[in-house]
Homo-oligomer: A and B are copies of this chain.
Amino acid sequence: MAQNSTYHHGDLRAACLRAARELLEEDGSAGLSLRAVARRAGVSATAPYRHYADREALVSAVAAEGYRELAEHLATAHPVPSTPDDLAAVAVAYVRFALEHPALFRAMFAEPCDPTSEERVAATAAISEYVRGIVRDAFPGVEDTDALATTVWALVHGLAFLHLDGKLDTSTPEVVADRVRASVFALFAVAPALREAIAAR
């Protein structure tokens, strides 16, 4: 029984989210069905409709929660990163999050998402703002902070997906962390040269 005192007139909305998360963590793949969530929450198949308009709404809520957790996870890795090492630590945390919650990460990013969910859009914006903030702090001299932030995000995001999809060795956490750090350092060392590089183009 996943049942607890919080529902049968309680917080089924939250219980659904929790059930969905459990399913994602366990299954690792698969696509989160409303019925499976209801089953897991110990409730009839149609009960979730009291709280979510449809399947999409549930998935978006789960994804949004994932974004919030990711942000938290990154902040935990380093509250106010300001050196290459700090940023590398955050990057490692990003990739680790993806590898530890593969199904959730896919739900957040890989799924063809509906762009109308404001909850989801807001959560995404928060992440990207967070990355921008780090880059701004770490590179006060750089003019186009947005461009550099995008580059950093893309690099880390790409590393996450390539590892997730088995294109890069993930046999130990160390091997992954080393690779992520090496990639970030490559980018970092060049940051001051960014403007010239773009200008010279």
Contact = CB atoms under 8 A, between A and B. Distances in A.
Given A113-B166, A115-B166, A181 B159 contact: no
A98 to B, nearest CB: 11
Protomer copies: 2
B153 A155 contact: no
A189 B186 contact: no
Interface in A122-146: 124, 128, 144
Given A186-B187, A190-B190, A201 B181 contact: yes
A162 interface: yes
A148 B147 CA distance: 21
A193 interface: yes
A168 B150 contact: yes
A112 B166 CA distance: 9
Interface string A159-194: 111100111100000000001011101111111011
A153 B155 CA distance: 9
Contacts of A153: 158, 162
A161 B166 contact: no
Interface size band for A: 35 or more
6 contacts: A84-B197, A106-B112, A109-B161, A154-B158, A185-B194, A185-B198
A151 B187 contact: yes
A26 interface: no
A99 B154 CA distance: 15
A85 B85 CA distance: 30
A147 B183 contact: yes
Question: Most B CB atoms within 10 A — which of A112, A159, A188, A196?
Answer: A112
A28 interface: yes
Nearest to A187: B187
